[in-house]
Structures are given as C-alpha cells and as structure tokens.
Amino acid sequence: MARELGFQVVAGIDEVGLGPLAGPVVAGAVVLNIGERLPGLNDSKQLKHEQRLRLDRLIRRRAVAAAVGEVDPDEFNKIGMTRARQRAMERAVGALGLPVEYLLIDAFDVPESPLPQLAVVKGDRSCASIMAASIIAKVHRDLAMIEFDTLYPGYGFALHKGYATAAHQEALRLLGPSPIHRTSWIRVRQLAGQLC
C-alpha cells in the first residue's frame, strides 16, 4: 500500500511491554525487501519462544534493516505509558540506520512522528514488516527479562516477563518493588504496600 504511493523505504513498527508491572517498553522496526516472504512469520504472541528466536535470526539476516528501541523503567516512570510507547518507536526507527520514508504501525499511529504513516488494525497478524518488528521486539524484551531474573531473584521475571500474574503479584507483596518495577503505577504501589 505505501509502496503503491511511491514510498520505497517502508518500516513496520510494533511495541511490546506496555502492560506489565515491570521491565522496559521495547519497539521493533523492520524494513523488508519488496515482496519478501519469511517462512513461519506470524504474530509474536502466537509463536513459542524457540520459534521467535529462530525467526529473530532469520529477520535480522534477511531484512534490509532491523532495530529495536527501548524505554527503561526509570524513564517510563517519568514520562508515562503513551510517551514511552512513542519514544521506543522513535528510537527503533532512528536505529535502523537508513532514511525511512513511511511507517506501518500496529494499531495506533505516532502523532509526534514527522513521517507519513498508517496505523494497521491487527497489523501484527496481517503485515509482514509489522509481524517481524513484533518478533524482534518480543525476543529482545524476553531476553532482557530473563537477565533481570538473575539480577533480582525472587520475582520470577524469567517466567512471567513482568506481567501481572498471581505469582508476580504475590512476590511484589512479599519483596516490595525491584528497581525495574513501574512504581509510577498505583497498582504496583498498592501491591507493594506503599498505598493505604
């Protein structure tokens, strides 16, 4: 669609990690060759960890460019969820290392971006470059959360990746917030006993 309008360098973008109680927000940005077909490409949420790892390697090998952008929990606490999403996406596009002409974004646009763009409803299920962006973002974030699990034991980050599972909420009640928890969120402070 964007290439039909004359744009050649089109980046698919998606983000992961907006909803968890802990960890970074990570966006992926991928530029694929026109007509590129990557076997097994799918919505990252529909894939197993091993499938995502394999596809991450394939995407990085075959894409014109692929990059991630991240907003860490400290910055998230200062700027909030909406701005964190936008900033992670801006950083991912900036890290591509080539002049992007058009953005295909999963679900919602990025109003602050000067680039022409299209928000694609369920783009992580229907648009190859958005699916690829979703996969590299998810792999990057999952590996970061596994590493955080060794730095901050007891929370189970390697298992739930920071999402609000019953086990994670119980750990937060027992241990209080870690340095990667989103303490700007009332729910995190409630679970940690920091609100009445």
Using one digit for the tens of pLDDT, what is the confidence trace for 76-102? 999 999 999 999 999 999 999 999 999
Tokens linked to 177: 């917030």
Give the mean model confidence (pLDDT) for residues 155-176: 97
| Alpha-carbon span 138 to 147, nearest angstrom | 14
Q: What's the rounded Cα separation, in Å, for the pair 125 and 100? A: 22
- Residues 188 and 186: their CA atoms lie apart, in Å, by 5
Retrieve residue 172's tokens. 């937060």
pLDDT reported for residue 57: 98
Cα 194 to the center of its chain, rounded Å? 28
What domains are there in the chain, each with its CATH number?
3-143 (3.30.420.10)
Instruction: Report d(CA 149, CA 157) in Å as an integer.
Output: 5
Q: Regarding predicted confidence, which is higher, 176 or 5? A: 176
pLDDT of residue 37: 85
